[in-house]
Amino acid sequence: YAKARPTLRLTRSAVHKINDDLGFHPKLEAFYRLYDQGLLTVVQGVGYPNPNQGHFESMRIWQAGDTDYRAAQTGWIGRAVDALLARYQGAMPAVFVGSIHKPFALNAQQAVIPTLRALADAAWQPAAQEACRLAAAARSPDSGPDQAPGAEQAQAGASEKDLLVFVRRTTLAAAQQSARVQSALQRQPPGHYPRFQLARQLFMIAQLLRAELGIRIFYTELGGEEPGGFDTHAGQAANHGALLQQLAESVAAFLDDLKRDGLLDRVLVMTFSEFGRTVEENGRRGTDHGSAAPLFLAGGQVCGGLVGSHPSLTERENGGQKHHTDFRRVYATVLEGWLGFDSQAVLGRNFAPLAILRTGRA
């Protein structure tokens, strides 16, 4: 390690020690605390066969959940949400919280997965006159079809009565959802949240969880839309450390917030990226595109600790560490063990689960 990274190496005394061979980066102190509390699992050596080192291509593989990324039309979460629609009619099964373009992982055939840039986006705010009319239609079980907005535009095959029932149901649901969101808007971030964009996004997710809107999957991001951020080809030490600090402190604050409201056991956090970095530094005080990387999973129902062995530093794949755990095994574990789906229907084949979760929350 020291020979491979003469300017980037960390000293033994600088890291937060896990065991005689491994430790957390100095800027991952918040993750080290979660790990010590049994709230963080590290899955080591995660990747896929014949890894692609292009940003777009590898990210598409991870987000599609399919190494045949060129043929993929939907993302793995999008397919999972399509399967959820039958169970959660009228609810939003998933939401993207962020300011970049919606990630491919959320592409679905049937479901429309919304993007929220601010919590107020989830509040339903019709004009006052229209709101009164919709509320009256929703309240009155005997209202005629002429009182339902848009009933005269019913499509062929749907009766006016059926349309009215739909309007009443969805109007009332939207109004109730909006009231819960408005209530959540009143709460300010606790003082322990750091001043990072990721922390703000996670606080928004915590508010949506408290609003009980029926959302099962939240997706957010750190690092930006284009290659950058973690793509540390030069000057890695400072930038990489700052991003790790944002990740660890934001997630730790989020979990602490959930714990205060008794929600910690209901939430599972999972991270991923398109690839790791090369073992050797590149002469510009940086590293290049690698292969395998660790994944972090956090929450009240993870087993905690390390899963899998640390990959060899000498047996390499495209200059990076060689993977031994297919990333779809992690996805399958989350799909089956946490969300309660048939992972084969989402991923196209069976992948052996990993010992990540203590219990499922289907």
Among the listed ranges 26-40, 172-186, 193-207, 270-284, which one has the minimum average pLDDT value? 172-186
pLDDT band at 124 (very low <50, low <70, confident <90, very high): low
pTM: 0.84
For 199-224, what is the mean pLDDT?
A: 91
Report yes or no on 67 lying in a domain: yes
Report yes or no on 362 lying in a domain: no
Report yes or no on 42 lying in a domain: yes
Report yes or no on 46 lying in a domain: yes
**Given this model, what pLDDT does residue 235 score?**
93
Report yes or no on 120 lying in a domain: no
> At 31, is the secondary structure helix, strand, or coil?
helix
**Residue 49 belongs to what domain range?**
16-73+220-347
Q: What is the pLDDT of residues 4-17, one digit of tens each?
A: 999 999 999 999 99
CB neighbourhood size of 312 (10 A): 12
pLDDT at 160 over 50: no
For 141-169, what is the mean pLDDT?
A: 43
For 307-315, what is the mean pLDDT?
A: 97
Report yes or no on 312 lying in a domain: yes
pLDDT band at 150 (very low <50, low <70, confident <90, very high): very low
For 192-201, what is the mean pLDDT?
A: 93
Name the residue type at position 119.
L
CB neighbourhood size of 357 (10 A): 20
For 104-111, what is the mean pLDDT?
A: 95
Report yes or no on 47 lying in a domain: yes
- Contact, 279 vs 319, CB < 8 A? yes
Residue 60 pairs with which residues in a beta bridge?
none
Report yes or no on 27 lying in a domain: yes
Q: What is the pLDDT of residues 62-96, one digit of tens each?
A: 999 999 988 999 999 999 999 888 776 666 789 99
pLDDT band at 152 (very low <50, low <70, confident <90, very high): very low
Q: How many domains does the chain have?
A: 1
